[in-house]
Amino acid sequence: PGTFKMAECGASGGGSSGDSLDKSITLSRREGLQASFHPPGLNFAWFVSPLTGGSLTKLAYYSTVQHKVAKVRSFDHSGKDAEHDHEPPYEISVQEEITARLHFIKFENTYIEACLDFIKDHLVNTETKVIQATGGGAYKFKDLIEEKLRLRVAKQDVMTCLIKGCNFVLKNIPQEAFVYQKDSDPEFRFQTNHPDIFPYLLVNIGSGVSIVKVETEDRFEWVGGSSIGGGTFWGLGALLTRTKKFDELLHLASKGQHTNVDMLVQDIYGGAHQTLGLSGNLIASSFGKSATADKEFSKEDMAKSLLHMISNDIGQLACLHAKLHGLGRVYFGGFFIRGHPVTMRTITYSINFFSKGEVQALFLRHEGYLGAIGAFLKGAEQDNPNQYSWGENYAGSSGLMSTAPELGPTQRARSGTFDLLEMDRLERPLVNLPLLLDPSSYVPDTVDLTDDALARKYWLTCFEEALDGVVKRAVASQPDAADAAERAEKFRQKYWNKLQTLRQQPFAYGTLTVRSLLDTREHCLNEFNFPDPYSKVKQKENGAALKCFPGVTRALDSLGWEQRQLALVKGLLAGNVFDWGAKAVSDVLESDPQFGFEEAKRKLQERPWLVDSYSKWLQRLKGPPHKCALIFADNSGVDIILGVFPFVRELLFRGTEVILACNSGPALNDVTHSEALIVAERIAAMDPVVHSALRGERLLLVQTGSSSPCLDLSRLDKGLAVLVRERGADLVVIEGMGRAVHTNYHAALRCESLKLAVIKNAWLAERLGGRLFSVIFKYEVPAE
């Protein structure tokens, strides 16, 4: 619907966190974006944190984003012979599509009027009469809002909003939660989302502390709290040190020595604590020394002591509650935590200490937005956003940690867009692949680049170097658009900046992986209206490959059974060499368009391959047919048509049903679901086996729900999952570097699986102990 929903929150106590950075508000940026992409009209919800008179306001709104998509459509000439030489196999049209997006931004309260003006400007033609509001700031700004916007403010419960928001991010943002370990590298350990997020304990540390047990989407209970919280740190800290700002206090604390103020065990036991096996550094009495020693204490030391006192106390209470309710996961939020490594560190220490490792302190990347998200969800209940899946848009979101008080001025300036989060509504809900052996431990990515500095350096450079080519291709894909070059340049700038951010803060968007780098690039391209830069390339390739299909199948059919199996596998692999996503290949392709299927086969490594369980696979093929195979396809053109389809055809021969899963949206030259549908029809017209299988629904084409060159088996289209269950799929084939090597290389499935790829990256090949164009053929049978 052409509405523009808005939630807004303010008064996040983080208050002073970075004056300069919050000033950027990014209103202007948003404005620009909305002017070009958003239809007028909006309604909103308003959220304000209850906790303090803090100086940050968060604005959350829901917009419908209009953007261009490339659509493919078969020519309506089924009766005619399609074998004319220069005729493309289908037509491409660029259409406007409207998708829903959630935006969250944060700015200082001083800008609230500007913000309201901004909202007002977009209020035209809206039927909205109500703003959802919650929290202390909601009361504070109620009159102003009502007067300015002529809308009624409807108050929402704060904790309800926080919890709704928390559920929402935990469900929709993979790697939302992380464990913080100060002295390890990386400091952030992102958790893959547990398929079942409930029950958990949420400890919200605002000015006070609320401890809430969340059991289901709608059921939660306030189990306790404490008045010793962020307000105590701030208020007491201000009294003790005459330092006004929260962030400055944290900064003082980070430089202090609490042992000068606290009475430690060793102060009481003397040196004997060692022989007694006590840790002498444990605090026996917070501020104990200031009661007995008549001297001046430094601000830093007092701030540190205060921080320890409060963090330890909160950690202890959280552990006591976790123990009472038998919960092992405790999420921490609130302005006391918000992006502050100092507090995350002390809280983590405290939790580890008091729970002896039985309770895990978890933090959230988007903790600061929970209230705003929740308020929005409350206000949008009639639209029921919870029935959709949402995906974080890396292009429109800023990373974690930009407000860390330790950051120097330069870093602060760079983090000017910190306070942004965009979530795109996905058309259909995403779920786990039912065939995952253990969904809770499934990690899609093979290499964690936050962990692996060497690999990180390589890949970041690799993506930087490939950027020129991507820009060039983007411009080339829209020859008729006058502003294409300009937009492409903006894209370059944006992605370049993201890469630089990631160099500094690899953890900014969760675990850094090749997948996240690829996805970010796709998001950035979309952001600047390059929905499918490869659409024409794919079209051309598909046309050419379709012409070769009859010849290839004829050749295969003439082989003996055993030879044919090997040829089919080689075909799959050779097809996979055609991959515009890999730099080495795109170089070859750009310079030598005649590079052909046979050429690719010759390039392939001879057996034994780098990873080679072909014999085992062949052995298996001699046995009974699989019931149903799920195949994740990779590239357009040669790959899907001359590699995958002949393989599919053989499976169908054997009596195995096939589910062919392709991307919902474009990513590089990957075949999309709609392209695959056309290709399948064209092949069916040439090949009776495919034809009858399609008609008989023994060959089914489904979409993955993804627009990524990689594959996250925990976020797949629900329709796919349903079908997999219905058909009793017992074989999963994953093809290509992005899906079978960068991701899922270690994925454990309940059924047989085949992961195959050609390593088209020299560095990666070397890392795996092979050379360029090494072959991975990994056939796995689950242990009984």
Partner 1 sequence: MLKLVGGGGGQDWACSVAGTGPGGEEAAFEVARPGDRGEADGWGPGWGCAGIPDSAPGAGMLQAGAAGPVRGGQGAEEVGESSGGGEERAVRHPQAPALRLLNRKPQGRSGEIKTPGNDLQRGRLSRGSRVAPPTLGMGDRSGQRERLAPHSLGAPPGTGAAAVNGMLHNGFHPPPVPPPLVCSRGPVGGGDATPPRLPLLPELQPQPPLAQHDSPAKKCRLRRRMDSGRKNRPPFPWFGMDIGGTLVKLVYFEPKDITAEEEQEEVENLKSIRKYLTSNTAYGKTGIRDVHLELKNLTMCGRKGNLHFIRFPSCAMHKFIQMGSEKNFSSLHTTLCATGGGAFKFEEDFRMIADLQLHKLDELDCLIQGLLYVDSVGFNGKPECYYFENPTNPELCQKKPYCLDNPYPMLLVNMGSGVSILAVYSKDNYKRVTGTSLGGGTFLGLCCLLTGCETFEEALEMAAKGDSTNVDKLVKDIYGGDYERFGLQGSAVASSFGNMMSKEKRDSISKEDLARATLVTITNNIGSIARMCALNENIDRVVFVGNFLRINMVSMKLLAYAMDFWSKGQLKALFLEHEGYFGAVGALLELFKMTDDQ
268 is a site residue for partner 1 (CB under 8 A): yes
CB-side exposure of 421: number of CA atoms within 13 Å?
27
279 is a site residue for partner 1 (CB under 8 A): yes
Question: Nearest to residue 678, comparing CAs of 576, 572, 542, 554?
Answer: 542
Contact 397, 366 (CB under 8 A): no
Residue 47 burial (CB count, 10 A): 39
Nearest distance in Å: CB 471, partner 1:
49
| Comparison of 323 and 536: residue with beta carbon closer to partner 1 | 323
| Comparison of 50 and 416: residue with beta carbon closer to partner 1 | 50
Residue 460 burial (CB count, 10 A): 18
Expressed in angstroms, the distance from the first to the final Cα of the chain is: 50
Contact 572, 644 (CB under 8 A): yes
Contact 534, 669 (CB under 8 A): yes
Distance CA 339, CA 402 (A): 7
Nearest distance in Å: CB 288, partner 1:
4
Binding range to partner 1, per CB under 8 A, among 255-263, 490-498, 598-606, 707-715: 255-263
Among 302, 420, 582, 641, binds partner 1 (CB under 8 A): 302
List the interface residues with partner 1, window 99-158 (CB under 8 A).
Answer: 136, 139, 157
Element (H, E) at 99: strand 91-108
Output the CA angle 68-73-78, nearest 5 degrees.
170
Contact 252, 271 (CB under 8 A): no
| Comparison of 336 and 632: residue with beta carbon closer to partner 1 | 336
Among 284, 462, 604, 618, binds partner 1 (CB under 8 A): 284
> Within its chain, how far is the Cα of 151 from the centroid?
35
Among 227, 382, 410, 591, binds partner 1 (CB under 8 A): 227
Among 214, 252, 317, 372, binds partner 1 (CB under 8 A): 317
Element (H, E) at 301: helix 299-325
Nearest distance in Å: CB 234, partner 1:
5
Nearest distance in Å: CB 379, partner 1:
17
Beta bridge partners of 57: 10, 107
Binding range to partner 1, per CB under 8 A, among 141-149, 233-241, 493-501, 597-605: 233-241
Q: What letters, b where the CB count within 10 A reaches 16 and e where it falls short, cover 68-102? A: bbbbbeeeeeeeeebeeeeeebbeeebeeeeebbb
Among 189, 308, 338, 340, binds partner 1 (CB under 8 A): 308
Distance CA 740, CA 409 (A): 42
DSSP letter (8 states) at residue 642: I
Give the three-class secondary structure for 45.
Answer: strand
List the interface residues with partner 1, window 483-512 (CB under 8 A).
Answer: none
List the interface residues with partner 1, window 155-214 (CB under 8 A).
Answer: 157, 159-160, 206-208, 210
Among 109, 232, 526, 703, binds partner 1 (CB under 8 A): 232
List the interface residues with partner 1, window 343-382 (CB under 8 A).
Answer: 350, 353-354, 356
Beta bridge partners of 101: 63, 424
219 is a site residue for partner 1 (CB under 8 A): no
List the interface residues with partner 1, window 1-60 (CB under 8 A).
Answer: 50-53
| Comparison of 51 and 502: residue with beta carbon closer to partner 1 | 51
257 is a site residue for partner 1 (CB under 8 A): no
Structure tokens at 52: 């303090």
Give the three-class secondary structure for 423.
Answer: strand
Nearest distance in Å: CB 367, partner 1:
19
| Comparison of 263 and 661: residue with beta carbon closer to partner 1 | 263
Output the CA angle 142-143-144, nearest 5 degrees.
95
Nearest distance in Å: CB 222, partner 1:
4
| Comparison of 273 and 778: residue with beta carbon closer to partner 1 | 273
| Comparison of 187 and 267: residue with beta carbon closer to partner 1 | 267
Cα separations (Å) of 419 from 108, 109, 371? 11, 14, 14
Binding range to partner 1, per CB under 8 A, among 141-149, 315-323, 415-423, 492-500: 315-323
Nearest distance in Å: CB 151, partner 1:
21
* Side chain identity at residue 739, one-letter code: R
| Comparison of 334 and 770: residue with beta carbon closer to partner 1 | 334
DSSP letter (8 states) at residue 127: -
Nearest distance in Å: CB 281, partner 1:
9
Binding range to partner 1, per CB under 8 A, among 83-91, 194-202, 311-319, 750-758: 311-319
Distance CA 749, CA 650 (A): 23
Residue 1 burial (CB count, 10 A): 10
State the residue for tokens 């979409």.
703
Question: Nearest to residue 520, comparing CAs of 579, 446, 441, 467?
Answer: 467
Q: How many residues bind partner 1 (CB under 8 A)?
A: 76
Nearest distance in Å: CB 296, partner 1:
10
List the interface residues with partner 1, window 428-447 (CB under 8 A).
Answer: none
Among 100, 166, 214, 240, binds partner 1 (CB under 8 A): 240
Among 34, 204, 290, 706, binds partner 1 (CB under 8 A): 290
In total, the chain counts a number of residues equal to 784
Binding range to partner 1, per CB under 8 A, among 74-82, 316-324, 436-444, 550-558: 316-324
- x/- binding map, residues 320-339, to partner 1, per CB under 8 A? xx-xx---------------
| Comparison of 160 and 753: residue with beta carbon closer to partner 1 | 160
Binding range to partner 1, per CB under 8 A, among 318-326, 389-397, 445-453, 487-495: 318-326
* Side chain identity at residue 680, one-letter code: A
List the interface residues with partner 1, window 601-660 (CB under 8 A).
Answer: none
Nearest distance in Å: CB 356, partner 1:
7
| Helix pair 112-121, 136-149: axis angle to 10 deg | 50
Nearest distance in Å: CB 236, partner 1:
4
228 is a site residue for partner 1 (CB under 8 A): yes
Cα separations (Å) of 618 from 71, 207, 249, 561, 777? 40, 65, 67, 10, 12
DSSP letter (8 states) at residue 757: E
DSSP letter (8 states) at residue 386: G
Nearest distance in Å: CB 200, partner 1:
17
| Comparison of 144 and 293: residue with beta carbon closer to partner 1 | 293
Nearest distance in Å: CB 271, partner 1:
8
Cα separations (Å) of 395 from 329, 398, 496? 30, 8, 11
| Comparison of 263 and 747: residue with beta carbon closer to partner 1 | 263
Nearest distance in Å: CB 269, partner 1:
4
Structure tokens at 774: 């090494």
Binding range to partner 1, per CB under 8 A, among 302-310, 361-369, 501-509, 631-639: 302-310
